[in-house]
Chains A and B, each alone.
Chain A
Amino acid sequence: MKIMNCPLNGPRNISEFVWGGEVREMPDPVACSDREWAEYVFIENNKAGFVREWWCHVPTSFWFIAERNTVTEEIVRTYPAGELFSRRVEFGAKTKDEQR
């Protein structure tokens, strides 16, 4: 069984983790085309080689990023999501209006 290094809990059996999909940028849900949106929702790149993915350590519900090579099955690096996502994400100006 593979071992994955959880940035919070250290090395653990892979059975303690679930996969959360590729790290991908969401297209602007208002401005993008239907096709762009459909590709975002339904198409996984499923790349052979280096990928960047979401993984979750289930017992502690900790989400992090793992970079691995799907050809060699090597887990290259794992790190907290904060390294990639450091700023608050906003969706349009209407959010504020609606909060009134």
Chain B
Amino acid sequence: MRGGINRLPAPFGRAIDRSRPIGITFEERDFDGYAGDSVASVLAADDQWILSRSFKFRRPRGVLTMAGQDANTLVQIGSEPNVLADRRLIEPALAVSAQNYDGSLEVDRGALIQLFGRFLPVGFYYKAFYKGGSWKYWERIIRNRAGLGKVDTYAHHGYFDKQYLFADVAVVGGGPAGLSAALQAAAGGGEVILIDEWPLLGGALNYARIDRDGDKAAALGDRLVDQIRATKNIGVLRDAVCTGWFSDNWLAVIQGNRFYKLRAKSVVLATGSLEQPAVFRNNDLPGVMNGTAAQRLIRLYGIRPGRKAVVAAANEDAYGVTLDLGDAGCAVQAVVDLRRSAGDGAMVRAVRGRGIPILEGHAVIEAIAATGKHGIIAASAARITSEGQTDGRAMTFECDLLCMSTGYSPAGQILHHAGTRFAYDHATNMFAPAVLPPHVFAAGSVNGTYRLEAVLAEGRRAGWAASQDAGCIGASEPQAVTGDRGGEGQTHAWPIFPHKRGSDFVDFDEDLQVKDLVNGIADGYDDIELLKRYSTVGMGPSQGRHSAVAAVRVLARETKTDLSQLSVTTQRPPYMPEKFGHLAGRVFEPERHTAMHHRHHEMGARMMLAGLWYRPAFYGKAEQRDRAIRDEALAVRNNVGLIDVSTLGGLDVRGPDAAEFLNRLYTFAYAKQPVGRSRYVLMCDQSGAIIDDGVACRFLDEHFYVTATTSGVDAVYRLMLQWNAQWRLDIDVANVTAAYAGVNIAGPRSREVLSKICHDVDLSPEAFPYMGVRMGSVAGIPTRLLRVGFVGELGYEIHAPASQGEALWDALMAAGGTAGIRPFGVEAQRVLRLEKGHIIISQDTDGLTHPHEADMAWAIAKNKPYFMGGRSIAIQMKKPLTRKLVGFTVDDHSAPVPEECHLTIRGSEITGRVTSAVRSPALGRTIGLAYVAPDQAVAGQIFDIRIEGGRMIQGRVVPIPFYDPENKRQEM
């Protein structure tokens, strides 16, 4: 038959489109289905009921919920492991394979393990491996056998993206409660977003039976969904899973490869409930499924779930299942009802009317396995004598399907994330939300409400309250929910019938039987959180959705504790697995380019990162790196070079208190600094540690242009603003880093080159001396000119509006053409500055370096009443130094150049480390900076440096600067 031998005619199959046939393969066998089929439904249509093997015992497993909630249905699709077969819709030519077997899905050699089951007691790994070293040996073998699916490390990259959404009210769950909540919330006038896990809105209305004739639910669902469609201010996300609630109603929602970050003012959680399996022998085999799973198969996909069935019942819904099975052509042999009386509800009467035997006060105690446990051939029932006990006189009914309709548990994961406390209610035998957090509302069966009229009323009420909470006041108050909410009689207090021969599974993911929990509790793990971790109950892929409540029932009984004193284990996000692609996806990684960025590329620069900035490391081929750096450095020493220093931080400090402000933040004194001069700035934090440096250029009495390090400027700027929020000085600070491009033209011929294009500033050494600052134009571009010398040669830093940075660069390169000007990069600059002994903050200093250690006491003003870190520096000064930063050279010319962080050693003691070292092109020997013990910090002292491979070389302390000790060249 087209669409599978179990396929039923319309109107069964609300979710499928019979005009669009689709074929897939499972274990290399062809299956034909329709658009809208899930992988599991298309397999069920052709009697492929085994979907996987269990994790530990390798027992065959099949459809349990059809709700995308259990681990039984995990399959591999191409390179994607662990796909929920009952959730993933089929696509043409999908190649599906099963997981967790050795040999074939039908005959698994690994299933022999169950024979040894009694040697794998609860806590096995812990007991067997917590002592000794054997875990190392066994781990590989165990992991090989365990594992779910196969990771294909060569899998194609997927395209994942993210989107931000905002709503006044978000409604999670598109069942009757969610639909009525969304409609009522929208009536308040705000923007509403409705999120549902399934392609088809309507939730249980699509598959449940609420009346004798079985057509009411679908009709109501259609009506509500039509209303939703007609409401403009409701946005619907279908086939979308809300995986987590985070602070202030920030919801993670995953739809396909898109990750929505949804912020809502208020949230209605109408996430429904999960039908819970009963516990009896072989309750895990294919053919044993929840009643709602059978109904989903019938009504959503048009699939007959079996030929002969037994229904394990404890509520009215079980009779809806029974009627549905009959309508689908499945002969129900018996309804086995745990309750003393099934009552006389409309559907119970209809079942009686069809002549189906109802065994009241009976329990299913065993499903009889077919050969190879591929399914079941019969179910045994017996009369209940007391809680969990029967008289053992089994009545056996032939069947290939056993439906379980014995109770529910709220799907409260998202409510849990939001901090909702759940409490056990003895009237309903279920946990229910006790206290809801602010701006969060619950409606429907997640809130313990089951009677349809009450569900709709509660939805309206929650939708209205949520829209009010979000400040939308356009709707009138709907009636409060009155009367019976229908929670009582849905769930049986003890649907657990342990079997003396076991295989009475509480947790299918982890193959845990009743006795495993009982033993775990006996071992002393008698708190639910401990029991979980010891026995692994609830730790599998379905995260306790079908085991947590049964586990806590067993715990309560074993410890003789009232259930109201207990809770289920904590639920944390994500509610459903999220792929790394969803979380990683594309991220915002800003890059900062200077105004001259393209010029550097044109000149063959190798770029390096400095914070977010891209800077030229050197110009030339990568393999000629050392040569290029050396030549660039020599060009600056002997001729003229040009470097892009745009990344340097720039802060304009203006106002009557500008000098006082700098006095408080930096160690030096600025009050008497003359206009037209710059002065070194050194910033320490309150503990006295060096955090930044630069220069302060006084252009006017009340205007300082302060530079800061590339990576430090943002923090310095923030610090300045924070302090002045307290000090209330009359100043303004502007971070103008990005507003200015900057270059440093340096070298003996820099004045000659600059004078060709700078005519309104007198560049003579008398008029514009070292440390002077001027405003003037260069090639017609308004600039700030700073005579500062990081590299120790005559030079000018020229700062110009960023928009004209490239023009400035071009003009200087052109003006320097005849002089042979050469661009130089950060690497050459590092060499040049080291030759001058200038430190780089955070390379030559660390988080504890105070100015005296770095030999910078000269930069600390005396007689200032306060500056940041001043008191701490004074305290440190009273103590002896523990280390000192010194200049050193290596006399052995054949010794390699030490690297940063190579240790300085004395005997068995580490005295410090190398912070910078290079072979100086100008001096032709190794020079560097290192921390050494204070008594070693005297010129001429020899100390040991341990370099690569543990070899020791000798450094000799020398005074700095290494090059041009009298600083004549920069002051030319």
- Name A residues whose Cβ lies closer than 8 Å to a Cβ of B: 1-3, 14, 18, 20, 29-30, 32, 34, 37-38, 40-42, 54, 56, 58, 61-63, 73, 81-82, 85-89, 91-95, 98-99
Contact = CB atoms under 8 A, between A and B. Distances in A.
Contacts of A62: 721
B870 interface: yes
A3 B872 contact: no
Contacts of A2: 247-248, 250
Nearest to A38: B875
The 9 closest A-B pairs by CB, nearest first: A92-B865, A91-B866, A81-B725, A2-B247, A91-B865, A29-B871, A94-B865, A3-B248, A63-B725
Interface string B609-620: 000000000000
Contacts of A93: 865
B735 interface: yes
B871 A61 contact: no
- B interface: dominant SS: mixed
A14 B247 CA distance: 10
Interface string B666-687: 0001011000000000000011
Contacts of A40: 686
A3 B248 CA distance: 6
A1 B247 contact: yes
Contact of B718 (A3, A18, A81): A18
Interface in B724-748: 725-730, 735
B726 A81 contact: yes
Contacts of B669: 98
A41 B685 CA distance: 9
A94 B865 CA distance: 6
A6 B663 CA distance: 30
Given A56-B718, A88-B729, A99-B659, 6 more contacts: A1-B247, A2-B248, A42-B687, A54-B722, A85-B726, A91-B865
A89 B728 contact: yes
Contacts of B730: 88
A85 B725 contact: yes
A61 B865 contact: no
Contact of B864 (A41, A54, A89, A94): A94
Interface in B782-839: none
B424 interface: no
Contact of A1 (B248, B671, B687, B863): B248
A63 B721 contact: yes
Nearest to A29: B871
B246 interface: yes
A95 B247 contact: no
B398 interface: no
Nearest to A2: B247
A29 B664 CA distance: 12
Residue from B659, B726, B865, B872 whose CB has the most chain A CB atoms within 10 Å:
B865
B876 to A, nearest CB: 10
A63 B718 CA distance: 8
A85 B728 contact: yes
Contacts of A18: 718
A63 B936 CA distance: 46
B198 interface: no
A37 to B, nearest CB: 5
B660 interface: yes
Contact of B727 (A20, A38, A88): A88
Interface of B: 246-248, 250, 263, 659-660, 663-664, 669, 671-672, 686-687, 717-718, 721-722, 725-730, 735, 863-866, 870-872, 875
A89 B724 CA distance: 9
5 contacts: A18-B718, A56-B718, A62-B721, A87-B728, A94-B863
A59 to B, nearest CB: 11
A82 B724 CA distance: 10
A32 B686 CA distance: 15
Nearest to A80: B725
B831 to A, nearest CB: 35
Nearest to B725: A81
Contacts of A92: 865-866
A98 B864 contact: yes
Nearest to B246: A1
A29 B247 contact: no
Given A92-B866, A98-B864, A1 B250 contact: yes
A41 B725 contact: no
Contact of A91 (B247, B664, B725, B728): B664
B875 A37 contact: yes
Contacts of B865: 29-30, 91-95
A86 to B, nearest CB: 7
Contacts of B248: 1-3
Contacts of A86: 728
A5 B641 CA distance: 50
A61 B717 contact: yes
Contact of B660 (A3, A58, A95): A95
Contacts of B866: 29-30, 91-92
Contacts of B687: 41-42
Nearest to B660: A95
A61 B715 CA distance: 10
Contacts of B870: 29
Contacts of B659: 99
A37 B871 contact: yes
Contact of A61 (B246, B672, B686, B718): B718
Contacts of A63: 718, 721-722, 725
Contacts of B725: 54, 63, 81-82, 85
A55 B293 CA distance: 52
Nearest to B687: A41
Contacts of B717: 61
Given A2-B247, A37-B871, A99 B671 contact: yes
B439 to A, nearest CB: 11
Contacts of B672: 98
A61 B735 contact: yes
Nearest to A18: B718
A95 B863 contact: no
A93 B659 CA distance: 16
Given A29-B870, A94-B865, A95-B865, A89 B726 contact: yes
A89 B725 CA distance: 10
Contacts of A87: 728
A56 to B, nearest CB: 6
Given A2-B247, A56-B718, A99 B728 contact: no
A32 to B, nearest CB: 8
A99 B250 CA distance: 53
B717 to A, nearest CB: 7
Nearest to B866: A91
A73 B247 contact: yes
Nearest to B261: A1
B390 to A, nearest CB: 50
A54 to B, nearest CB: 6
A37 B729 CA distance: 23
Nearest to A74: B438
A91 B660 CA distance: 10
Contacts of A42: 687
Contacts of A99: 659-660, 671
A78 B500 CA distance: 64
B746 to A, nearest CB: 33
Contacts of A32: 871
A42 B865 CA distance: 21
A53 B875 CA distance: 27
Residue from B659, B664, B735, B866 whose CB has the most chain A CB atoms within 10 Å:
B866
Contacts of B664: 91
Contact of B671 (A20, A34, A85, A98): A98
A3 B263 CA distance: 10
Nearest to A36: B871
A38 B876 CA distance: 11
A88 B722 contact: no
Contacts of B721: 56, 61-63
Given A88-B727, A89-B728, A37 B872 contact: yes
